[in-house]
Structure 1
């Protein structure tokens, strides 16, 4: 899905973080729900940019034809993007899209601290850009700064209430802190925005199971499995025969 994080809070963080972060690559200037016509981050600051960042007009995560955007790039590609962003920033120091491109590329190369510098600089220039907060939230997840990630995803939903992935991200960060009850409403919001959001059903199902609501968990995990057969592992692991 989208650079998303842990596959479950009981497994390693990185399994899910990879899931979440994969989507981050595709996040540009609109919510990473693969919405068309991404808005320009630089438009909010009056700067112009001739360097487009990846679009998000692609199959949604969880669908059978979805290809993780991060899988299309290699480390040399990310380093090349950093050089491209560096050149752009020399010409236009306040170019928000170039800062975002560089930050995401650094994050992909696991240079999370340096990525934070660029995210912070971009947010100072465009403080109402939801995608900057979203992507910084992903970066914070990789750094295991879960409280900060929750705040960033919250900002993303404030400036873009229709961003399903920001709600999903916030719920996932809460799961990492074992706040399952608090995570459930976030996954519910994500599902309301996208009824076919397989990962949101899966994570909500895991959250229900974690508070011993196994019937609700089964409903969600079976729905997740219908949408994404890979979720069957969670169905077996977290529900099994517990509600029968």
Structure 2
């Protein structure tokens, strides 16, 4: 499940509350420059007013350039431009929001949260800001803060499908499956054609051991989004868990074909191959998952089982040691059985 901070960036519309057109600011700026160049002391008061307008113009223009940089994918430049705008006008909420979004896209979630904190102080309770700040907290694995932000957002917008989905997601990640199930049902009530929502509900149902219902939701997600690799991976894992290893391998092959760079189905494929006593194939699948970034303790545990099938006991013991170091406790019992103390 790939959460990206830009989930709502595509729908962001540039609005600058209370601002007048850019051309007016440019004219003000030009007049200020002319007044200073001609040393028109009689027009000092007017010049100061024009300079104030010009300062606002500069902030606005830098903010606008920041949005253009974000639109082109240059988030580092966008952050610099928004910061420059805020140096010129530290109350320009448009620049704060722009920097928060660009920071999130650049992975600078601390900065994003700081800007969103300030926006909440300036604008008051706003479900959109709670949503964005909750996403930043979720990305930082600060689940407690994310739960609180999504809860506050839902108090203001109880039928918001995205807020209900995000609340379900963070509760799923914290193993609070009943509340996650309640939230995802509310999301689906508001948006019954969203493949991602059915995918998440399927995962919640599988965690609740309601495998038949979970399979139905994965199939519904795939009917709405054919080739949805996440749903295919979890559907394959569901088949593995229920003992249908052959169907699991067929489904996981569809997942890796749909997204060859997605690590999870390669790991699940390795599990199936260990189950079918195909250790060399399993090791190749585990290696592929590792190269793609999968580094949890369970992959080292099952790699050890594949080595045992090949009678490579030293390699198995090394893998189980790595698994234990990553917090996978089941490997301790096997280490005691097969490995020298």
* Partner Cα distance (2:216, 2:126) in 1: 36
1:235 matched residue in structure 2: 235
Distance of aligned partners of 1:193 and 1:135 in 2 relative to their CA distance in 1, 3 Å threshold: same
| Runs (5+) with no aligned partner, structure 1 | 1-6, 8-15, 29-37, 55-69
Report matched runs for 1:32-181 at 5 Å: 43=17, 48=19, 73-74=72-73, 77-181=74-178
Cα deviation, residue 79, structure 1: 1.9
Find 1:186's aligned residue among 169, 173, 183.
183
Match of 2:7 in 1: 23
Cα distance change on mapping 1:182 and 1:39 into 2, 3 Å: farther
8 Å contact from structure 2 (residues 164, 183) kept in 1: yes
Contact 1:103 1:115 in 2 (8 A): yes
Maintained 8 Å contact 2:6/2:104: no
Q: What per-residue deviation string (whole Å, max 9, x for no partner) do you get for residues 28-58 of structure 1?
A: 3xxxxxxxxx595x65xxx54865797xxxx
CA distance in 2, matches of 1:135, 1:216: 31
Q: 1:171 to 1:133 in 2, by over 3 A?
A: same
- Aligned-residue CA RMSD in angstroms? 2.8
TM-score, normalization by structure 1? 0.71
**Counterpart-to-counterpart distance in 1, 2:6 and 2:149:** 18
Q: 3-state SS of the aligned residue for 1:189?
A: helix
Moved over 4 A (4+): 47-54
Greater RCO (Cα-Cα under 8 Å, separation 6 or more): 1
Distance in 2, matches of 1:91 and 1:170, equals: 37
Tell me: CA distance 1:106–1:23, structure 2 relative to 1, closer, same or farther (3 Å): same
5+ residue gaps, structure 2, are 21-59, 245-341
Q: Which has the larger radius of gyration?
A: 2
For residues 142 and 27 of structure 1, the distance between their equivalents in structure 2, rounded to whole angstroms, comes to 20
Displacement of 1:207 in angstroms is 0.4
CA contact (8 A) 1:24 1:138 kept: no
Give, in angstroms, the shift of residue 203 of structure 1: 0.5
Question: How many residues align structurally?
Answer: 197
TM-score by length of 2: 0.52
Aligned equivalents of 1:120, 1:104: Cα separation in 2? 13
Aligned to 1:208: 205
More helix by share: 2
